[in-house]
Chains A and B, each alone.
Chain A
Amino acid sequence: MTLNSDAISLTNVTKIFHTGVIKRKTAVEDLTFSVARGEVVGLLGANGSGKSTTIKMILGFLKATHGELTVCGHNTEERIARSFIGYLPENPRFQRFLTAHDVMKYFGRLLGMRGEELEKRIAHLLELVSLKHVTKERVHGFSKGMTQRLALAQALLNRPPLLIFDEPMSGLDPLGRKEIRSLIMRIHDEMPDSTMFFSTHILGDVEQVCSSVILLKQGRLKRQCTLDELLSQGDQRFELLIRNLAPSLHKKYLDAFESRLSAGGIQVVVDGAEALAAKLAEVEKDGATVASVNSQRKSLEDELFADTSFPLPVATNQSMGKSL
């Protein structure tokens, strides 16, 4: 491991896929970012934004068309670079005939571990991920959550300084997600010097786990900042609950973005203090009353989809009625 080098460093990385004889698809374009050691970084982006491509390039599964990628100071195409990485794939699969212990032993040996040291590490990690009771059972019968936890355990075998998780909570039920989330936090407590880099679609998890985020959009870096920076900036949002509105005016209010009809009245969301003042004046003019005004913290989801070019589906009373 090269001292003082970043855990991950990408410089002008581009990946172009050949999708046909002439056709080309640029998955990632001119991507430059670095991840310092000890950080917990979330890689975010919509589907097709290049998250998985980026992770696979870091792991050396995909070759970058241009640019340079390093892990702990080593080029990702060098075999040694992977000795610093613990990887948890999105859908981990193991040979069905292996037991949990066999899986750990196999991967441990591939990492050059052996003997008592390996056995102790296996026992500790299986205990950590709560799989000690199924050590001798074949993975064939494991649930998705158990498989995910076993994959997490094998990623930690050689105490790697960089942990890469590709959508670690996807496909899990709320309890499974909570388990994995708390495991990630526990691992970070146990290995505070290790860097964690993970992609996910579940933004709430990022808000709870990450210290900083990297946002990708259409294969390009949109922004890299700390989570606090991301959430603190931008206009404040307010949610108004409007009552006693004449039915003929309902359409006017419901046509607005993110407004909806609720049991207590019509809920309208406005961005910023100026918009709030204008909306309050409008409500007063229309003879309605404002039952409540709630200040909302800007969520990560709002930031992520802030300038998407396509409209996000918003449930209005009309569309809700149709679907029901």
Chain B
Amino acid sequence: MSLNIFRIAWIAVRELLYERVFYILLCFVALSLSLSLLLGQMTYIEQYKLTVDFMLAGGEISMVLFSIFAGISLFQKELTMGSVSMTLAKPISRSTFLLGKFVGQCAVQMTMVLGMLIVTIAVSSVYRHPDIASLAQTYCLIGFESMVLTSLCYFFAVNSGAITTAVISLCFFGAGHLRDNITQNADMKSASFQIWRVVKNLVPDLELFNSKPLASYGVTISSVEMGWAFVYCVICVTFFLTLASLTFNMKDIPT
């Protein structure tokens, strides 16, 4: 099973590199990083901080979009195109297929995160000696967040169409970052708050993966916090991929 996951993952990597959506998102990454450099020029004193801040934000948004749209492209397209039928006609499980795609996509995402880290270090070194540890930590957390979003996207892609998957995944991203704010500011007696209390438990807490404000000041987080973020990432990915696998196994594939 494990070897077949990597065979499918390798094809998924090549597939992503051949996809137009990959290059569009790559352009978006390049644009957001370049814009950060320009925006940094808007201040005289805090150039490093502002540039790094924008770069990290641009990097995060890029990875969010990549997780969702590459996920849809990789998984949904294969289902709608029908090429999945020949793969699933072989003695491999649907979970293997799903995991293979996930591993392939995550490999590309991690490479992109590494590339963005190198660019950010290179650019920020124009202003002063960059805080490599804090930048590496932040990009690592962005990588974790993108993995959680990818697994979430796969779960929705199994159960719904491309547009619904994109919309719901983006909603989960928003809710995942704002869940504490919503809880604090909501009217606790209202009926919608009671619904939110239920929904909140299903939305992963993505703020755990946010250390951007600290990184722009050059502050690092403790290894324990990093460890917890990693464990939380693994739990979320396992949960959503298990759900995705279970529903995919039960689903009819009308290829």
A87 at the binding interface (Cβ < 8 Å): yes
Q: Which residues of B contact A60 (CB under 8 A)?
A: 88
Q: Which of A61, A97, A109 contacts B7 (CB 8 A)?
A: A109
A111 at the binding interface (Cβ < 8 Å): yes
B14 at the binding interface (Cβ < 8 Å): yes
Q: Please report which residues of chain B, range 80-94, place their CB below 8 angstroms from some CB of chain A when the two chains form the complex.
A: 81-83, 85-93
Tell me whether B14 and A87 are in contact (CB under 8 A).
no
Q: Smallest CB-CB separation from B81: which chain A residue?
A: A93
Tell me whether B15 and A111 are in contact (CB under 8 A).
no
B83 to chain A, nearest CB (A): 4
B79 to chain A, nearest CB (A): 11
Q: Which of A62, A80, A94, A109 contacts B91 (CB 8 A)?
A: A80
A106 at the binding interface (Cβ < 8 Å): yes
A110 to chain B, nearest CB (A): 5
Tell me whether B86 and A87 are in contact (CB under 8 A).
yes
Tell me whether A85 and B250 are in contact (CB under 8 A).
no
A107 at the binding interface (Cβ < 8 Å): yes
Q: Which of A17, A85, A91, A93 contacts B89 (CB 8 A)?
A: A85
Q: Evaluate whether A154 and B83 lie within 8 angstroms (CB atoms) in the complex, with A83-B91, A106-B11 already known.
A: no
B44 at the binding interface (Cβ < 8 Å): no
Q: Which residues of B contact A176 (CB under 8 A)?
A: none
Q: In whole angstroms, how far apart are the Cα atoms of A79 and B82 in the complex?
A: 20
Q: Which of B18, B82, B90 contacts A110 (CB 8 A)?
A: B90
Tell me whether B4 and A110 are in contact (CB under 8 A).
yes
Tell me whether B91 and A93 are in contact (CB under 8 A).
no
Q: Which of B81, B85, B90 contacts A107 (CB 8 A)?
A: B90
A95 at the binding interface (Cβ < 8 Å): yes
Q: In whole angstroms, how far apart are the Cα atoms of A80 and B253 in the complex?
A: 19
Q: In whole angstroms, how far apart are the Cα atoms of A205 and B168 in the complex?
A: 48
Tell me whether A95 and B11 are in contact (CB under 8 A).
yes
Q: In whole angstroms, how far apart are the Cα atoms of A8 and B88 in the complex?
A: 18
Q: Which of A89, A97, A151 contacts B15 (CB 8 A)?
A: A97
Q: Smallest CB-CB separation from A15: which chain B residue?
A: B252
Q: In whole angstroms, how far apart are the Cα atoms of A286 and B14 in the complex?
A: 76
Q: Please report which residues of chain B, range 1-57, place their CB below 8 angstroms from some CB of chain A when the two chains form the complex.
A: 3-4, 7-8, 11, 14-15, 18
Tell me whether B18 and A97 are in contact (CB under 8 A).
yes
Q: In whole angstroms, how far apart are the Cα atoms of A92 and B88 in the complex?
A: 13
Tell me whether B253 and A61 are in contact (CB under 8 A).
yes
Q: Which residues of A contact B125 (CB under 8 A)?
A: none
Interface residue total, chain A, C-beta cutoff 8 A: 30
B104 to chain A, nearest CB (A): 12
Q: Smallest CB-CB separation from A86: which chain B residue?
A: B89
B194 at the binding interface (Cβ < 8 Å): no
Q: Which of B11, B14, B85, B91 contacts A111 (CB 8 A)?
A: B91
A235 to chain B, nearest CB (A): 40
B255 at the binding interface (Cβ < 8 Å): yes
Q: Please report which residues of chain B, range 91-117, place their CB below 8 angstroms from some CB of chain A when the two chains form the complex.
A: 91-93
Q: Which residues of A contact B83 (CB under 8 A)?
A: 93-95
B119 to chain A, nearest CB (A): 27
When each residue 86-104 of chain A gets 1 if its CB lies under 8 Å from chain B and 0 otherwise, what string results?
A: 0101011111111000000
Q: Which of A17, A89, A110 contacts B85 (CB 8 A)?
A: A89
Q: Which of B4, B11, B85, B93 contacts A87 (CB 8 A)?
A: B85
Tell me whether B81 and A96 are in contact (CB under 8 A).
no
Q: In whole angstroms, how far apart are the Cα atoms of A107 and B89 in the complex?
A: 10
When each residue 53-95 of chain A gets 1 if its CB lies under 8 Å from chain B and 0 otherwise, what string results?
A: 0001001111100000000000000011111010101011111
Q: Which of B4, B86, B253 contacts A151 (CB 8 A)?
A: B86
Tell me whether A89 and B91 are in contact (CB under 8 A).
no
Q: Evaluate whether A61 and B90 lie within 8 angstroms (CB atoms) in the complex, with A97-B15, A109-B7 already known.
A: no
Tell me whether B7 and A106 are in contact (CB under 8 A).
yes
A131 to chain B, nearest CB (A): 16
B160 to chain A, nearest CB (A): 15
Tell me whether B11 and A82 are in contact (CB under 8 A).
no
Q: Which residues of B contact A110 (CB under 8 A)?
A: 4, 7-8, 87, 90-92
Give 26 A-B contacts (CB < 8 Å), ordered by A residue: A56-B255, A59-B85, A60-B88, A61-B88, A61-B255, A62-B252, A62-B253, A63-B250, A63-B252, A82-B90, A82-B91, A89-B82, A92-B86, A93-B81, A95-B11, A95-B18, A96-B18, A97-B14, A98-B11, A106-B11, A107-B90, A109-B3, A110-B91, A110-B92, A111-B91, A151-B86
**7 other A-B residue contacts (CB within 8 Å) besides A60-B88, A82-B90, A95-B18:** A61-B85, A61-B254, A80-B91, A98-B14, A109-B3, A110-B4, A154-B86
Please list the residues of chain B having a beta carbon within 8 angstroms of any beta carbon in chain A.
3-4, 7-8, 11, 14-15, 18, 81-83, 85-93, 250, 252-255
